[in-house]
Amino acid sequence: MDRQTTGNHRPPQAGDPPFQALDKVFQFIEKHNWKLLHIASLALGFLIFLIYFCQNHFYPDFDLFGFVSLLAAAALMGWVMVFFIGFGFTAPGWIWSEVFFSDKPVDHALQDRINGKANLDRRLINRYFFAPGFCSLAVLWLAMYFLHDGHAFTLGLLAGPLVIGLAFGLPLQKNYDLPPYSWLKFAITTFLTFLTGNLVALLATTALARGAPGIVKTMGEYPFMALCFLALLMLLSAMTAVIRQNQRHVLIVSPLLAILLMFGTHTWSALPGKIISTLGLGNYQAEQVLLSNELCEKYQAIESYGVKDDCALNNVHVIWSMGGLSVIKWSFADQEIKVKVPSAVILSIRLAAPGALATP
């Protein structure tokens, strides 16, 4: 039976610099929470709008900070995305720790055989999170490499974690004299943990591949996938260690990881446009835009604009339509025309059908 006690190597503990730094950050946030929330929300909201303005080379004719509700709405959508991705990093480790290893009979049995919580956490994470996680992702990778249909996902996402949970659960119960049927509970926990982990790995790898097509082309699709799987498993293992140490630290670490992943996948380039479109301020497709007679006459004199006698522009992409300035874009004779016009000269905008896609 595995009864090894404290060894020479010791992982970080609560008094070590990394965890001391996290504690100080959390204390600072607790002390200034509302002020920080206000500043962070305004800053993130303004940053989202600023990125969109820079992408489309214009700036509105009003002070954004005069519309705090817009900044708050944009920030809320941005934070929802950040915390959703952060939850993906946190969920596997939280399920693994809280569903099985925080169970009192199991926890007491393990502490009786391994001295020190740090030693216990290190061994459990190495042997019963990283190792089965590696096997689970390896099964998923092999299934996708050799199978090219729905069976790959069935085998990799469902069968792999379940079988691996059984394979590790039986030795775990035997080695540490855990209560009866602990192997079954561990198998179910492992299945939930690495089903979630495999989904997160697939989604993150797909997003990274879209954000770095050159690297994928250089390395090859499957080597790139293997590298992403391994890197993600190391991050999930580190997040599990943070969860086992102090769960409130996750509130700091997981959003930072999410923001880094969003940079790596170029999400920060696409997200502003989607938020602007959701708010109805711009980045949407219009079936027809009707211009005033004054502007219509000026544009009819420019043949390359393709403005007809009815003063209507068809299939127009509305980049911005709030305030006194509107920015619209359309195509004529294989040429793209983009103009900034006073909003007053646009008499009406007929929106495209719901199924029509906006041009980024």
| Sequential pLDDT tens for the chain (360 residues) | 444 443 344 444 444 556 677 677 767 777 767 777 788 888 899 999 999 999 999 888 877 777 788 889 999 999 999 999 999 999 999 999 999 988 888 888 888 877 777 788 888 999 999 999 999 999 999 988 888 777 777 888 888 899 999 999 999 998 888 888 899 999 999 999 999 999 999 999 999 998 888 999 999 999 999 999 999 999 999 999 999 888 888 888 898 899 988 888 888 889 999 999 999 999 999 999 999 999 999 999 888 898 888 899 999 999 999 888 999 999 998 899 999 999 999 999 998 765 554 444
Task: Measure the CA–CA gap between 133 and 229, rounded to whole angstroms.
Answer: 10
pLDDT of residue 129: 95
pLDDT of residue 272: 94
User: Is 337:311 a contact under the CB 8 Å cutoff?
Assistant: no
User: Is 71:45 a contact under the CB 8 Å cutoff?
Assistant: yes
Task: Return all residues near 249 (Cβ < 8 A) that are at least 6 apart.
Answer: 19, 22, 26, 242
pLDDT of residue 251: 84
pLDDT of residue 24: 74
pLDDT of residue 27: 74
Return the amino acid letter for 12.
P
pLDDT of residue 316: 94
The number of beta carbons lying within 10 Å of the beta carbon of residue 264 is 14
Among 159, 135, 132, CA closest to 147: 159
pLDDT of residue 74: 92
The number of beta carbons lying within 10 Å of the beta carbon of residue 51 is 18
- The full 3-state SS of the chain, as one line of letters, equals CCCCCCCCCCCCCCCCHHHHHHHHHHHHHHHCHHHHHHHHHHHHHHHHHHHHHHHHCCCCCCCHHHCHHHHHHHHHHHHHHHHHHHHHHHHHHHHHHHHHHCCHHHHHHHHHHCCCHHHHHHHHHHHHHHHHHHHHHHHHHHHHHHCCCHHHHHHHHHHHHHHHHHHHHHHHHHHHCCCCCHHHHHHHHHHHHHHHHHHHHHHHHHHHHHHCHHHHHHHCHHHHHHHHHHHHHHHHHHHHHHHHHCHHHHHHHHHHHHHHHHHHCCHHHHHHHHHHHHCCCCCEEEEEEEECHHHHHHHHCCHHHCCCCCCEEEEEEEEECCCCEEEEEEEECCEEEEEEEEHHHEEEEEECCCCCCCCC
Task: Return all residues near 56 (Cβ < 8 A) that are at least 6 apart.
Answer: 319, 320, 327
For the chain, the domains span 17-269, 282-351
pLDDT of residue 12: 47
Task: Measure the CA–CA gap between 234 and 211, rounded to whole angstroms.
Answer: 21
- Assigned token pair, 122: 């290190």
